[in-house]
Structure 1
C-alpha cells in the first residue's frame, strides 16, 4: 500500500505551534492532509505526532493517527528519516502492508496534488530509483557567491567562477523541502540516502517553493499563496515545470 506520512510534532521554537497555527484561514497542517487526499496517491494518510491537539486536528482533516510518536523522537535534534523509519515500523506492527511511502512535510500550503502524482510516477517508472524528492533551481549561481573575510572585506567564494557568465556555470539545485517519495525498504536501509545515486529530483517552479522556518518566511508564504489563488481564480495556471 502507498502511505503518506506527515511529521507534525507539537513543539516549534521559531514559530510556536507552527503546524496548527492559522494560515490564510485554516490550520497549516490541514493543507498537507488535504493535498495528500486530493492527490489520490495514497491508501492512507498518516500523521506522526507527539501532540494530542495535533492528533485531534489531523483526524478531523481526514488523516489517521494510529500511534503517538515518543518524546525521544520529538525534540529539535531528531532527523526526519528517523521519524519516518519509526512510523513505517509502527505501521507494519499494526498490519499495514507499507510498500511506498511519501514523507510529506506539514508546512506545504503551496504543494499541489498533481505534483505528488508526478513524483509517484517518477518513482515507479524505474525499479532502480529508491527516492524522488521535490527540488528547485537556485535563483542565483552558487558558484558566484560572496563571503566576508575576517577584516570585513568581500571575497568570492569561488574565485575561478566569479567572472564567468551564469549560462556557462553548472546548473545547481536545492531541496525544496516539501515531499520525499521512497520505497519503504529504502527508507529503512541506513546505507541508502535520498540524496544518493538512486535518488531523483522532481523540479518545481520557484513560485511553488517557500521554506517556512521563520515568521518572515510565514508572511512571505501567505502572500505567495494568496497571489496564486487569485491567479488560479482567473484561470491563469502556471507551468509547474517552469
Structure 2
C-alpha cells in the first residue's frame, strides 16, 4: 500500500502502519488539485509498467463496510472492467432555485418520495481503475461500472468539522 502526501505527520503515521510513502510535491497538493494528477504522479514515481490496477481510497471517505473491497474487486475482475466506482441511491426530492423560485428536478409536486425514479450519487468510498486508464487521465472511464452501496458509511464524506463529528458518530454507533 502506498500513501502519497506532502505532510510529515501523515508520512510518519503511514510508515508506522507499514505503508510505503511517496512524497508529493507542493505543486500537486492543495484543495484545488485534482486526484488524477496525484495518481499519475504516484505511477510515474513507481515507474513500474507491471502495475495493472489502482485502488483509490479517499481519505475524506474513511469508513467502508468490511467486505466492500472484496465484493467490488470480484465484480471488477468478473466483468473485465476498465474502472468501477461506488454509488448510493439518493432518496431526496431535489430541485433548483431559479429566480427565487424552487423548480423540482426529480419529481412533480405531490409525488411520494418512495415513487421517485432512482437517482444515484458517487459516494467516494472506493474506486478501482486500470493503471493505463490513470496514465491516460481517467479514474472513472466512460464505461465505468457503478457498484451500488446501501450502507450508512456511504453518507460519510468529511469536508467540514461537522462532517468529522458525523463520521465519528457513525463509526461509534454503526457496525460495518
2:5 equivalent among 49, 53, 66: 49
**2:64 is equivalent to residue 111 of structure 1:** yes
SS of equivalent residue, structure 1 residue 170: coil
TM-score scaled by structure 1? Answer: 0.65
Shift of 1:185: 0.5
Structure 1 counterpart of 2:18, from 32, 56, 62: 62
RMSD: 2.3
Tell me by how many angstroms 1:148 deviates: 6.0
**Structure 2 stretches lacking a partner, 5+ long:** none
**Displacement of 1:172:** 0.6
Contact 2:85-2:128 within 8 A present in 1 as well = yes
1:52-77 deviations in Å (ceiling 9; x for gaps): 22111101012111x31111100221
Bigger fraction of residues in strand: 2
Provide the aligned length of Structure 1 versus Structure 2.
Answer: 175
Indicate the structure whose relative CO is greater, using CA pairs within 8 Å and at least 6 residues apart: 2
Q: Which 4+ stretches in 1 moved above 3 angstroms?
A: 157-169
Q: Give yes or no for contact 1:141–1:171 (8 Å, CA) kept in 2.
A: no
1:1-242 mapped onto 2 (5 Å cutoff): 45-65=1-21, 67-91=22-46, 93=47, 95=48, 97-127=50-80, 129-142=81-94, 145-147=95-97, 149-150=99-100, 154-158=101-105, 161-190=108-137, 192=138, 194=140, 196=142, 198-209=143-154, 210-228=156-174, 232=175
Gaps of 5+ in 1: 1-44, 238-242
